[in-house]
Structure 1
Amino acid sequence: MKFAYTRLITEDVPALSYFYEKLLGVTPKGNDDYVELHPGGAILAIVSRGSAVFMHGGEWVAAANRSAILEFAVEDVDQEHVRIAPFVSDWVQQPKDMPWGNRSMLFRDPDGNAINFFTPPDPAA
């Protein structure tokens, strides 16, 4: 088994896609209802609520997520903080050293999804 996708449901695919394009430095591929970003590893997909209902049925709600964190290993958390500070407005945790050795910062995307950028103590980790 291989973990392949994380799919975020939103009311504004273009706006959320633009945020992740700036954040991850990769170009989204898709349209106003569904895009994919390939930052390395698993795919990050952004889909409109209406498209999620069309594709899968059921009830889908675009809402701030308070139970999951998107995690990205980066080379230097402090450099990334400087780079993304101009367009990130919702900070959960400024860069700090964690007890297990990671340097980490947490923030939220425009829809309220939590994101962690971290640098492990051993870059090969």
Structure 2
Amino acid sequence: MTTNLASTRIITADIASLVAFYEKATALPATWATPDFAELATPAGATLAIGSTRTVPLFAPDSAAPGANRSVIIEFLVDDVDALWQRLAAWIPASDVVAEPKTLPWGNRSLLVRDPDGTLVNFFTPVTPEARAKYGLSALIES
């Protein structure tokens, strides 16, 4: 199974100010997907993602809070999030599972868990043609 670090996401109550800070600090332009989500991609392929608190309930209510040492989600792009979930479910404590796999509005099927230190970790698989294209993946094969 292939696993790649896709991005680091910061949750904030004031997305405009935080995006402006990172654009200024890095001299990289943000790409806004929605008014509640922006990304800054580096030439090396690393991405800093910034989401407003309004995006948090899409993963799981109250799973992240800005400024409370719970504002970062580490994200991994995986081949098959459902297969990964079957493997992880056997050893991740139920109390560390925030949201079992579900498809989110932007086209990713996502599994949200906490690591042993409480940091949120999102394993995801792009499932819509647009989301798959974003990561340079071939279109889904319909059966």
TM-score between the two structures when normalised by the length of structure 1: 0.47
